[in-house]
Amino acid sequence: MATPVEQRQTSKATYVSHALNATGVLNNKWFNPSTGLWQYYDSSSDQWTQLWWQSANILTTIGDLGEVDPNFLNQTKQIYKEVFSPARAYNGGNWINGYYDDEGWWALAWIKAWDRTNNGTYLKAAENIFTNLLTGLNATCGGQWWDKTKQHNNAINNELFLAVGAALANRVSGKKSYYTKYAVAQANWFLNAGLQTKNNTFHDGFAVSDCSAEGTVFTYNQGVILGGLVGLYRSTGNSTWLDHAETIATGAVNSLVDSNGIMTETGEYPTSDLTASQFKGVLARNLAYLYKYRKNAAYKTILTKSADSIWSNARSSDGQLASNWQGPVSSFSPPAQGSALDCLVAAAKVSC
């Protein structure tokens, strides 16, 4: 049984120390330098799985750690070098595949890499990805298709399209209006597309047959949209985007928690699989982005309580972090480790 975590004032330095420890375990145990990706060993099949979009998320998190701890920045830059060429080669020489959400995750990762390095190669990679993302627009229910076979019209890829567009608007010289135009149009459509629940959280997508909302309320669908709206605020100066973000965030922190206030996945997907175990960290990461502009105490509370629970209830003796942040200490994987790392970094950010 998980130990209830009393809300206490854990310091930023402590969260950073925990994050550095978790990063060391993540890289030493699961990083594959030959592919530039983090990998998972399945003992039942005796095979290693190279994790594609999950690795993009891990890379983004490492970039955030490089921001919150300047002493880690040189290592962050080295990791970018170790990922870029091998991972691109593993995927056939580019960042494009059959799924627009995968591409969006990589675009955000390379935008973050540009933030930490000012290396234009990374920003150009993100721009090239965005150009491909445009080919998925005009889906049946509006917005962007999830897959290139045009079978699914999901929330996550549409949120990523918004977030990437807004992020590029704030970074690419001479193209602010170009990227802002796409991000604003996407936000106006998405916030009025009928995907929200009564508490302002988002379903997983549309039923393409009739464009009704369907699917579970996953944590990551409440996260990416926050980062996108924060980016829009930065590119336009319009605080209404932050108002929208706060409404969504309030619904998320009130509903995607357990009785002890620890962030949890309430959907039907098993939290321990290689997909859903990545989700919670995305919400944690983007809550911290929003907290920079809207100092809502509820955001800080859920992030710090969850980070404290991870360290107290979900950490093995050798530093692996479980997919369930309440415990028990089981279901370890790179996505679970990276997701928990997201929360530790986010807790450090809001504890400044």
Of 257, 300, 281, nearest to 7 (Cα)? 300
pLDDT band at 267 (very low <50, low <70, confident <90, very high): confident
Q: How far apart are the first and last CA of the chain?
A: 31
List the structure tokens of 164: 């990437």
Task: Compute the average pLDDT of residues 155-178.
Answer: 99
Domain range for residue 110?
A: 12-350
Task: Compute the average pLDDT of residues 118-129.
Answer: 99
Q: Is 1 a member of any domain?
A: no
DSSP 8-state symbol, 33 = T
| Residue 270 pLDDT > 80 | no
pLDDT (tens digit per residue) in 98-108: 999 999 999 99
- Give the whole-angstrom CA distance, residue 333 versus residue 271: 11
- Quick one: what percent of the chain has pLDDT higher than 70? 97
pLDDT band at 5 (very low <50, low <70, confident <90, very high): low
pLDDT (tens digit per residue) in 26-72: 999 999 999 999 999 998 899 999 999 999 999 999 999 999 999 99
Q: Read off the amino acid at residue 41.
A: Y
Task: Compute the average pLDDT of residues 137-142.
Answer: 98
Task: Compute the average pLDDT of residues 164-184.
Answer: 99
Q: Please provide the average confidence, as pLDDT, over all residues in the chain.
A: 97
Q: Is 115 a member of any domain?
A: yes
- Give the whole-angstrom CA distance, residue 322 versus residue 313: 9
Please give the tally of structural domains in the chain.
Answer: 1
Q: Is 346 a member of any domain?
A: yes
| Residue 7 pLDDT > 80 | no
List the structure tokens of 75: 């290592």
| Residue 2 pLDDT > 80 | no
pLDDT (tens digit per residue) in 195-237: 999 999 999 999 999 999 999 999 999 999 999 999 999 999 9
List the structure tokens of 234: 């930065």
Q: Is 204 a member of any domain?
A: yes
The pLDDT, as a whole number, for residue 351 is 97
Q: Is 77 a member of any domain?
A: yes
DSSP 8-state symbol, 72 = G
List the structure tokens of 44: 């039942």
| Residue 126 pLDDT > 70 | yes
Beta strand spans in 18-60 (E): 31-32, 37-42, 47-51
Q: Is 5 a member of any domain?
A: no
The pLDDT, as a whole number, for residue 320 is 98
Report yes or no: 316 and 19 within 8 Å, Cβ to Cβ.
Answer: no
The pLDDT, as a whole number, for residue 215 is 96
Report yes or no: 284 and 306 within 8 Å, Cβ to Cβ.
Answer: yes
Instruction: Classify residue 98 as exposed, middle or buried by CB count within 10 Å of its CB (0-12, 13-18, 19+).
Output: exposed
Better-scored residue on pLDDT, 1 or 140? 140
Report yes or no: 207 and 154 within 8 Å, Cβ to Cβ.
Answer: no
Q: Are strands 31-32 and 37-42 parallel, antiparallel or unpaired?
A: antiparallel
Cβ neighbours around 218 below 10 Å, total: 26
Task: Compute the average pLDDT of residues 103-118.
Answer: 99
List the structure tokens of 72: 């880690």
DSSP 8-state symbol, 147 = B
What DSSP element (H or E) covers 246?
Answer: helix 240-255
Q: Is 6 a member of any domain?
A: no
Task: Compute the average pLDDT of residues 78-99.
Answer: 99
The pLDDT, as a whole number, for residue 162 is 99
The CA distances from residue 79 to 233, 275, 289, in Å, are 30, 23, 23
CATH code of residue 241:
1.50.10.20
The pLDDT, as a whole number, for residue 330 is 87
Q: Is 195 helix (H, G, I), strand (E, B) or coil?
A: coil
Residue 147 has φ and ψ, to the nearest 5°, of -125, 160
